[in-house]
A = this chain, B = another copy of it.
Amino acid sequence: MTDFGRTTLPFCSFVLDGERHVGVGIGTQVLDAKAALPDHAALFADGSLDAFLASGPDTWQAVRDALLAHEPTEHLYDAQYLHEVGELVLPFTVADYVDFYASEHHATNVGTMFRPDGDALTPNWKHLPIGYHGRAGTVVTSGTTILRPNGQRRSPDGEITFGPSIKLDIEAELGFVVGVPSALGTPVPISEFDKHVFGVCLVNDWSARDIQAWEYVPLGPFLGKSFATSISPWIIPLAALTRARVDPPAQTPTPLPYLQTDEPWGLNLEFVITLNGIEISRPPFASMYWTGAQMLAHMTVNGASLRTGDLFASGTISGPETNQRGSLLELSWNGTEPISLADGTTRSFLENGDTVAISAVAHLDNGERLELGEVLGTIVSQP
């Protein structure tokens, strides 16, 4: 059970008496936003975050101020508006889903494994945040069962086979949720990042490495990713993370002007990945080479428009240490070094019945620690 404290104020969509409501996390409970904030009830009318996301930064702040202005003992948090956290559903309508590749350590690990004779990073990697579009329709909320996907793969001897993926993997990522749309043909400058992005969620971008390896040249990942992407049910406002902002790693070469800003949009977030309750990694988001603000500026520099509900994820978060890697591909070095779990078993990739939980905390500059929730999924076999 996540304890969100009093200042995080994350948003979710929860089920109450069979109906969908917008909720705000207060400690370990959930506040019914429409009931508790009558002045803003229209924003929460349909039980999704869509209207609130679209309302923009002034309204986001006004709602946050209203929530912060009251103590739990006062009217706002009368027991009638606070509920136990029950069923949480997908909190917003996902418009487009983009996945980036912003960790230098992850990209270096992958490049070293798959292109051992070449440069680990492709020539473009330090010039632009590489990204691609994923399948928005298969973004699911935490807890959704993940069916091991079928697909084509090529065996080491060159045979093409079909069946359940034998290299099913996780990718621990941070997702950015767009609230305010933009017009087609008008890039969003990097300075406008927090005018368009409301907040973040935790992402597990499930990946079938064997399917992906066979299909991805030349047009990129497709079925190796599109079967499911899980997100945490709680969307954390950027406003809650102001004191977690840090300078990102130095960037050499200096990126083009549209990717430059003096505003530090690195985030001091520590992820924890557990497999069946056993910790297997602790990726540090502060080590990411490209920031969310740079991703947004890049994604729109060609004039591509934003819609409310666009989700863009960071790509796998891997730190410099072996126990900071955000995928089993890296943790087991593509199966050549299976990891040992505290329960006596080993893993190269996911087995049926495995439950993966990815959680994160923000480390603030005043020493405080904010819990950010978790995204969880269990693998089941083909029927």
Stretch with Cβ within 8 A of B (4 or more), from A143-151, A240-248, A324-332: A143-151
Contact check, B223 vs A301: say whether CB atoms are below 8 A apart: yes
A193 interfacial by beta-carbon distance below 8 Å = no
A218 interfacial by beta-carbon distance below 8 Å = yes
From known contacts A137-B305, A137-B307, A162-B258, infer whether A223 and B132 are also in contact, taking CB-CB under 8 Å.
no
Contact check, B216 vs A128: say whether CB atoms are below 8 A apart: no
For A98, the chain B residues whose CB sits under 8 A away are 222
A122 interfacial by beta-carbon distance below 8 Å = yes
**Which residues 145-163 in A have Cβ within 8 Å of B in the complex?**
147, 149-152, 154, 160, 162
**Which residues 115-150 in A have Cβ within 8 Å of B in the complex?**
122-124, 127-128, 130-138, 140, 147, 149-150
Can you pick out 24 interface pairs between chain A and chain B where the beta carbons lie within 8 Å of each other? A95-B136, A95-B137, A96-B136, A101-B219, A124-B215, A130-B218, A130-B222, A131-B219, A132-B219, A133-B133, A133-B134, A133-B222, A135-B304, A136-B136, A137-B306, A138-B304, A149-B302, A149-B303, A150-B187, A151-B302, A152-B256, A162-B256, A162-B257, A211-B302
User: Interface residues, chain A, CB within 8 Å of chain B?
Assistant: 95-96, 98, 101, 122-124, 127-128, 130-138, 140, 147, 149-152, 154, 160, 162, 184-185, 187, 208, 211, 214-224, 226-228, 256-258, 298-299, 301-307, 310
